[in-house]
Structure 1
Amino acid sequence: MALIIPDALPTKASQGEKKVYKILRDELPDDCYVWYEPNLKGLFPDFIILSPTLGLLILEVKGWNSKQIVKASSNFFEVEQDGKIESQQSPVRQGKGYLDALLQKLKGYSVLTQDDGDYQGKLAFPVGVGVIMSNITEAEARDENIYPLLEKPQVVYRDELLQWDGIGDRLLMKRLSDMFTVRFNFMLLSDDQINTIRGIIHPELTVRTEPATPKNVPQGFSLKQDAIIIKTLDYKQELLARSLHSGHRLFCGVAGSGKTLILLSRAKSLASTLLPQRVLILCFNITLAAYLRSLIEQNNNALYRDRIEVVHFHDWAKSILGRLPNPRLYDSDDEKYNDNLGELLLEALKELPLEQKWDAVLVDEAHTFSASWIKCCTDALKDPESGDLMIVSDGSQSLYQRRKFSWKSVGIKAQGRTRKLSQNYRNTEEILSAAWSVVQSINDSDEDEDDVAFPIVKPSTALRNGQRPILHLSHNRQTEVEAAIGEIQKLVTDSFLPKDIAIIYRYKAQHEQAPFDYLMQQLEQLGFGCYWVNNDKRDYNTQHQGVRLITAKSALGLEFKAVLIPWVQQFGVGDDRATALRELYVSMTRAQEVLHLFGSGGFEFLKTLQQSTHLDVKKDYSAVA
């Protein structure tokens, strides 16, 4: 069964389109992507089929009967519809127009083109156009002299289409292959090449771009030095993102479940509509806001820049209020301050002209928000009742003391529009298991999930496996850092880029100042570079070079290929054990592939970690030269 998008046709689809949709969905193999009416910058081909063995085929489906065609040429058909005669492009010409709109974009990515020989710069896989005349038989086409303009095998007529039910994937793929006017042998497309094509067809699916490596292309493929690939949402995430409509919608999901990616895809889709949309993305962390802006800027799309505003809550409140309340007046009572800030902002939003409000508000990491702030998000909409409000959260990552509340109490109307995401895409199974074991004991399992805004969602298994996380034990904080530097050297030797490595720590007290300074100095001297994110959180950018140094709270919402956590004993001290363990959970789940923890001293927390069945223990008692 093909991976078909959307998973149900709109009611406006013609009978012929419905017939073809069902056949493609049921008969094509499960490595085929099929899109119905994808948006190619305002052009809407009926179907695009993408397969690692077939290539890319655009299909046009026409429901005209032979009597409707008054006059025809190779370029235009005059068709009678509803008593009027309209001039329309030839189906083949129309399909070629769609293909031409796509070709230049595809050729802009060298991972999709041939690098040498007579065909240098041309696509490394076949592309073609096919036509299905769902209401005209081949005999009728010949009788009406239409057949010379729409010849087989590029065209399928009704009598052949009716035989496609139950045809099977092998015969259907062979028939679709016959539609190509230019066909050649090619290396089967890799998953990363397929995803790059998906990201070109639908830019809103793009997660990020990154340099291509030999692992991203078929063996023997000639890879240019500056080649890049596009990382996209997967099929399930794409289906979910495309199923969203206006109204209040809630997503609660585990770390690494793609909540933020789906939110960004939704924002991009809204910004790409024909009608101008004001889209507001809100979050609590300054670093996360900067990170989201950098992801959007990577797309280099003018509509995204003009229509999507990404800002952390306090900057947003200040832009409307003019200035924020003075925290000193609240006796260090954060929730009292937050409540008052929300009340002031609610009053100001009531006075805000309608044209200055937003068509859509999307809230990332909403578990960091106070109740009154959620009310502000609703009131910021032009249509608070049914406007586009998307809220994503994870109760297991609640790092701030917030009073509990229910969605009903803050005016959120999302009954039947709440989704729980338990599948983890970011981490390996080994990293996820280790991280979940840290917070499992403190997560509230007896809460009434129907009456709490941010319930705990237990993760299901991860999609990938990798190396087990390692707990390194050292003499002191200095030797912890030396051991971490040694692991970073190994990672860079193993082709990890420094910017894909993060050192996440809870805090930097007096005891950590000297080893912290040493760490930064060594990273620079070794040529890896050092990017201390907390030193300038507002300008965080994914393209900035250097190993990242960042606190656990500032790392919320981010991800890195490798994570190293020094002074892990910090997460076991203090009065608020639950919050500390959630900070460690957040830190550990930032790692996509590799995770190292470093500790020293006789702390009980370290002894607990040593007993974990999810961590390998290594004793590092030698300094790095």
Structure 2
Amino acid sequence: MAFLLPENIPSRSGVPDRLRQVARALRDFTPDQVTVWLRETMGGVPYLVVLDPRAGIMVLDALSLSAAGRRRRKKGRVFDSFDVVSIPTDELVAHAAELHRNVDASAVENLPVHCVLAVPDLDEVPVERLGAADRSLPILTRSDLSRDQLEGALRRVLGGVRIQPLSEREEKRARAVVNPEIILPQPQSETLPLFQDPETRPEDVIRVMDRHQERVAEHLGDGYRVLRGVAGSGKTLVLAHRARHLHRTFPKWRILVVCYNRVLANALEAMVDPDERLEVTNIDRLAYRLAGWSSRRGKPDFDSLVLEAEKKARRLPDSERFDAVLVDEAQDFDHPRLTLAYSMLKSDRLRPDPVQLDRDSFVMAYDVAQNVYRRGGARWNPPGVDAQGRSRTARGRSTVFRKNYRNTREILEFAMNFLAGSREWSSASVDLDDPAALIPPEAANRTGPRPRQQYCRDLRSEAECIASRVAEMLDQGVSARDIAVLYGYSDLERELRRAFSSRGLPYFHVQGKDYASHSDNRDQAVHVRNMVRVSTLTGIKGLEFSRVLVGGANHINVRDVDEGDQFSAAKSQLYAAMTRAMDELEITMSGDGPIGAALREAERLQRVG
């Protein structure tokens, strides 16, 4: 079955019946590799763009008989050109020509691009009775749109030239020609530690969103929605694209993108290019602002601060609230913070409406495997009830992303063996209606070296080992900006600073502050160049690096977590740190502890697997 964008073209209101028939035939009678987009002319008339990797690209609309024509056909009378419903073929031909130029420019060789007409009501069309502009265009008839004929008919109308299917890389480029919005952000690509190209077989890594991500980002649906995905599956990418898409589609809307991590908020800001109607922030900064708290007053009671901010949010005028709110890394939020984010929606969007059931445009993305703060955000649902008096839940509103694009197979396998404590995660069944269920990831095709573990005498030895490895990487030509060092214990950071300084290595502490200038390194961490970023395990969540070195594994202590939950919380933090690595992962540890034992078991499972 072809992949339709959006999925409901065959039943979508506003799409003419003739085009629905064609979309239905394409969906049912062509292979999975075929992609079908719904587009509109400048005048709002729908048409289709079809990419068949074995045949080419079609810009396609459907002729159909008028009501009078259908009556004439039933009575066996002669077809008349006035019986055809006219369509704006000039604009479609121009679009096909533009796509052809862009395909050539994208280095996809010999890919045919044509404007094609479909006539789902007729088996034969007297071409001489068509308009002059339509006579030269290839035509798909009713019989062509059948199960047995359609694949061959597509190759015929596209010239029958292409025999070799597009490679995966060429197919991505062709999709990007049809929908340039799926291309990853380019202006910051050299420095932004999000969605970078790995060094191992870069052709296997997404430079554009995959089709599932594209469908969700542009056709998610209204109301409360949940995006659940494994690490490296593109949740943040989809959320950012969704924000930009809403901003373009509804230019009068006010849109808020919010996350927990300050560094990730700065990365998201670089991606979505905010303005007065598109805001990006982290939740605690939002709470500070609403509650009117100044950092000069010291550190507040955050629980009380968030509750006060939520009360003030509900008293804001709609001019200061939002039409849509999107939350990234929602598993890091507690329930009051998520309720605060939800309260930023405009008041009329929070009131149940029996006609417009999904007015509260609220999207949250999360991965329970990275629930490092044990806050239970995955089990939150919007407060109140809908127009029918029912509680709002994520059932039927969740989309799952399983495929990991970031990590090599070896890194992902090791990280999951460590988190799950066995190899059974790869075959485990998942109850997708359980918001806290762990989703087993599907690995992409990239491979690389297995993660390395180094056992050291103490924290100082760990720092020396890490600094020596960083020096070797730099000597081998790895860029400093592609290396991240993550530590699980604050004392290790002091030792790392000393070890880096003694070797003259570039060092940027993400959590560092310059009290003289009142500057915070977290606000610079995304854009820093030619420096090795050094951070806590969770300080760069959502970002990614070619090489990641993790130290202090046996000394991890998660703040604000009960003693009984320390081991599972530490595993989640270390798993989140491991999955920042795109190409190579190294872990150091000293002393004894349950985390070290779990790492050794993960290594054993990988060896015997």
Q: Which residue in 2 is equivalent to 1:62?
A: 63
- Report the Cα distance in structure 2 between the residues aligned to 1:459 and 1:523, rounded to whole angstroms: 42
Q: Which residue in 1 is equivalent to 2:26?
A: 24
1:310 Cα shift?
0.9
Deviations 1:34-70 (A, max 9, x none): 2122x689977611122444333211223255978xx
- Report the Cα distance in structure 1 between the residues aligned to 2:397 and 2:94, rounded to whole angstroms: 40
Q: Which blocks of at least 5 consecutive residues in structure 1 are unaligned? A: 69-77, 115-122, 219-228, 298-303, 331-336, 618-625
Q: Which residue in 1 is equivalent to 2:256?
A: 280
Task: Say whether 1:378 aligns with 2:361.
Answer: no
Alpha-carbon spacing, 1:614–1:557, altered in 2? closer, same or farther (3 Å) = farther
Residue number among 359, 365, 368 corresponding to 1:395 in the alignment: 368
Task: Say whether 1:368 aligns with 2:332.
Answer: yes
Task: Write the letter of the residue equivalent to 2:350.
Answer: P
Deviations 1:308-331 (A, max 9, x none): 21101122223333325888686x
Contact 1:325 1:341 in 2 (8 A): no
1:570 Cα shift?
2.3
Q: Which residue in 1 is equivalent to 2:241?
A: 265
Q: Which blocks of at least 5 consecutive residues in structure 2 are unaligned? A: 70-80, 191-196, 352-358, 385-390, 426-430, 513-520
Equivalent position SS for 2:541: coil
Q: Which residue in 2 is equivalent to 1:438?
A: 418
Q: Which residue in 1 is equivalent to 2:481?
A: 499
Equivalent position SS for 1:178: coil
Alpha-carbon spacing, 1:489–1:47, altered in 2? closer, same or farther (3 Å) = farther
- Report the Cα distance in structure 2 between the residues aligned to 1:566 and 1:482, rounded to whole angstroms: 11
Q: Which residue in 2 is equivalent to 1:191?
A: 168
Superposition pairs for residues 13-412 of structure 1, below 5 Å? 13-37=15-39, 46-65=47-66, 90-91=88-89, 93-99=90-96, 102=99, 112-113=106-107, 125-135=111-121, 138-142=124-128, 145-146=129-130, 148-151=132-135, 154-156=137-139, 160-168=141-149, 171-178=152-159, 189-209=166-186, 231-297=207-273, 305=275, 307-324=277-294, 337-382=301-346, 383-385=349-351, 386-400=359-373, 402=375, 407=380, 410-411=383-384
Q: Which residue in 2 is equivalent to 1:570?
A: 555
Q: State which drifts further: 197-206 or 244-253.
A: 197-206
Contact 1:40 1:201 in 2 (8 A): no
Q: Which residue in 2 is equivalent to 1:8?
A: 8
Q: State which drifts further: 433-442 or 582-591.
A: 433-442
Alpha-carbon spacing, 1:492–1:29, altered in 2? closer, same or farther (3 Å) = farther
- Report the Cα distance in structure 2 between the residues aligned to 1:494 and 1:189, rounded to whole angstroms: 35
Deviations 1:206-243 (A, max 9, x none): 4444588996679xxxxxxxxxx972222223333344
Equivalent position SS for 2:574: helix
Alpha-carbon spacing, 1:592–1:66, altered in 2? closer, same or farther (3 Å) = same
Task: Say whether 1:553 aligns with 2:538.
Answer: yes
Contact 1:560 1:592 in 2 (8 A): yes
Identical-pair percentage: 23
1:278 Cα shift?
1.1
Equivalent position SS for 2:407: strand
Q: Which residue in 2 is equivalent to 1:513?
A: 494
Equivalent position SS for 2:546: strand
- Report the Cα distance in structure 1 between the residues aligned to 2:44 and 2:171, rounded to whole angstroms: 21
Contact 1:190 1:216 in 2 (8 A): no
TM-score, normalised with respect to structure 2: 0.77
- Report the Cα distance in structure 2 between the residues aligned to 1:357 and 1:79, rounded to whole angstroms: 53
Task: Write the letter of the residue equivalent to 1:396.
Answer: A
Alpha-carbon spacing, 1:35–1:537, altered in 2? closer, same or farther (3 Å) = same
1:136 Cα shift?
6.0
Alpha-carbon spacing, 1:36–1:477, altered in 2? closer, same or farther (3 Å) = same
- Report the Cα distance in structure 2 between the residues aligned to 1:89 and 1:206, rounded to whole angstroms: 31
Two-structure CA RMSD over aligned residues (Å): 4.1
Alpha-carbon spacing, 1:405–1:64, altered in 2? closer, same or farther (3 Å) = closer
Q: Which residue in 1 is equivalent to 2:392?
A: 413
- Report the Cα distance in structure 2 between the residues aligned to 1:325 and 1:7, rounded to whole angstroms: 48
Deviations 1:272-325 (A, max 9, x none): 21442211011111011011112224xxxxxx6453211011222233333258
Deviations 1:122-180 (A, max 9, x none): x76443322224456655442xx42654235x3316xx33233023565134213229x
Equivalent position SS for 2:453: strand
1:564 Cα shift?
1.5
Equivalent position SS for 2:7: coil
Deviations 1:56-102 (A, max 9, x none): 3211223255978xxxxxxxxx9899xxxx9x7751x2212323555
Q: Which residue in 2 is equivalent to 1:423?
A: 402
Task: Say whether 1:534 aligns with 2:473.
Answer: no
Alpha-carbon spacing, 1:399–1:499, altered in 2? closer, same or farther (3 Å) = same
Q: State which drifts further: 487-496 or 234-243.
A: 487-496
Contact 1:400 1:579 in 2 (8 A): yes
Contact 2:395 2:433 in 1 (8 A): no
- Report the Cα distance in structure 2 between the residues aligned to 1:58 and 1:543, rounded to whole angstroms: 44
1:365 Cα shift?
1.3
- Report the Cα distance in structure 2 between the residues aligned to 1:250 and 1:217, rounded to whole angstroms: 30
TM-score, normalised with respect to structure 1: 0.75
- Report the Cα distance in structure 2 between the residues aligned to 1:104 and 1:322, rounded to whole angstroms: 54
1:251 Cα shift?
3.2
Equivalent position SS for 1:534: coil
